[in-house]
Structure 1
């Protein structure tokens, strides 16, 4: 239940959608071209052409962190940078209103840890250029910012999180599954970009009960929220959103059996009261045999498991039971 708790510890409460109008951002062909460009990495081979990691890793680590820091905003920097009519500010204000909600007629945000983290300025924010975090231009924003964030995360406070907000979707919303698959593709893009190897003590098979996502050699817990969720409000946001925490944050929150038991009971009660659907059976304790943390990162709006399209985020490739979208992307690179 440790990792199930992070759903509440940061974003249970993002329940009321903000309707935001913005110019369109569409780049599906860009994704396909990017996938084709990176095929030599997927096959575990070095190709002659550059890929996202090569292009960025020509810079020094200091240059990468400097670039990432430019997109890594505190709440004060965010409020100074964006006018009230900018979509970034509107989405942020919706988040702020939700996380601080309290009083008659309001749904009180149930997580004191997230509220404390916000008030203390522990959180950092990143904004993308479209609603699809897996687009190459967005991966190139997220990856340096994430590296910069991880460099300073332990100095930010015990309730820190990185909040990655996509732009509003143009026109009709996508399905929950579409948003979730784009989230998984983003994780794949981050692994392609990352110059550090996967930690040897963490299994790479995404169905292993000890698997957890890693970046820059650090175990992380990234959670996807989407505007398409209409029943599981704990996974709803006005825009595609990723809430990411280093695993040490969760370890500290539940450092003793007593803390774990207390938090688990509170979280399950809050989820039962907040969502319009029963608690997902995929929200299990990390390491429990027969489960995988990968199924907690994205949840459907029904109590059905959201399959991860990757066996291994470093090797790529689709599972036989995975989405047709992933299979078609792989086929187009042949």
Structure 2
């Protein structure tokens, strides 16, 4: 069983494309991502800058329903977290899953997303950090793996109106370690400005207004996990965390 979890930087991907070594589904996934980040006014300038400045790292995990793919995510994320602080101040891990052989429903994508997160939690190589609450209903809770708190964003084909979360070819998960965002937290001037800019861009980019669950980490009225894989409509919300966190 291949559990390598190989990480690519931009030059390695381009070289693999140029030499024909990057197989078709991986090439299609990455080129679509690059087009979104470079050729549109994608709202999150942190993600855009990570792609343009070669501070993103990329992982191709296979089919999200495949246990082998889940082990690749675990190993790739572990490797990324070991070295992310040497990449850049702002860095992102982008995880591409292989497109299925048939169209999938929104619920199937949701199930796959949370199965990935649960798998990581149950096979976490490190104990839960002592400074992060263990209860997802605490406003200062966020997902942790290998001792690192992180912000997670899921993108999928069912987001036809919420275009900032749309990708046409299957599930995609983006991860930013919390330490890369510490200096722009919600209570800093730079952080407030950055979030204001992103929200203004969201209004122009999406065909639906920003979801009410989008908020700042630590805000008493915000639960960060509700933002991971947003509902398609603004009238819906995830009411309960989907699994029991092991710490």
**Length-normalised TM-score, structure 2:** 0.89
In structure 2, do the counterparts of structure 1 residues 111 and 220 end up closer, same or farther at CA, with 3 Å as the change threshold? closer
Q: Deviations over 1:52-87 (max 9, x none)?
A: xxx9xxxxxxxx9xx44xx11112222333537711
Indicate the RMSD between aligned Cα atoms, in angstroms: 2.3
Which of 306-315 and 166-175 deviates more? 306-315
The 5-angstrom pairing of residues 1-334 of structure 1 reads: 67-68=4-5, 71-82=6-17, 83=20, 86-101=24-39, 107-130=40-63, 132=64, 135-175=66-106, 177-238=107-168, 239-254=170-185, 257-303=188-234, 304-314=236-246
- 1:254 positional shift: 4.2
Q: SS at the partner of 2:62?
A: coil
Kindly provide the CA deviation profile for residues 246-296 of structure 1, in whole angstroms up to 9, marking residues without a partner as x. Answer: 011222344862212211221111111111111111011212224311101
Q: Distance in 2 between matches of 1:85 and 1:149?
A: 22
Aligned length: 242
Change (3 A) 1:306 1:160: same
Does structure 1 retain, via aligned residues, the 8 Å contact 2:186–2:192? no
For 1:128, what is the secondary structure of its paired residue? strand
Q: Do the aligned residues in 2 keep the contact of 1:208 with 1:292 (CA within 8 Å)?
A: yes
SS in 1 for 2:8: coil
Gaps of 5+ in 2: none
SS at match of 1:224: strand
The structure that is strand-richer by fraction is: 2
Distance 2:240 2:84 in 1: 28
Report the Cα distance in structure 1 between the residues aligned to 2:185 and 2:134, rounded to whole angstroms. 25
1:108-143 deviations in Å (ceiling 9; x for gaps): 33444333322321111111221x2x6421111011
Q: Distance in 2 between the 1:186 and 1:95 partners? A: 20
Secondary structure (helix, strand or coil) at the match of 2:52 reads helix
Deviates more, 1:178-187 or 1:305-314: 305-314
Q: Tell me which of the two structures has the higher relative contact order, counting C-alpha pairs closer than 8 angstroms and 6 or more residues apart.
A: 1
Native 8 Å contact 1:143 1:190 kept in 2: yes
User: CA offsets per residue over residues 213-263 of structure 1, 9 Å max, x none?
Assistant: 000011011111111111111111122100001011222344862212211
Quick check: which has more Rg, 1 or 2?
Answer: 1
Note the C-alpha offset of 1:90: 1.2
Q: TM-score, normalised by structure 1?
A: 0.67
* Distance in 2 separating the partners of 1:256 and 1:308: 27
Equivalent residues of 2:132, 2:142 under 8 A apart: yes
Structure 1 residues 202 and 108, CA gap change in structure 2 (3 angstroms): closer
How far, CA to CA, are the matches of 1:92 and 1:116 in structure 2? 16
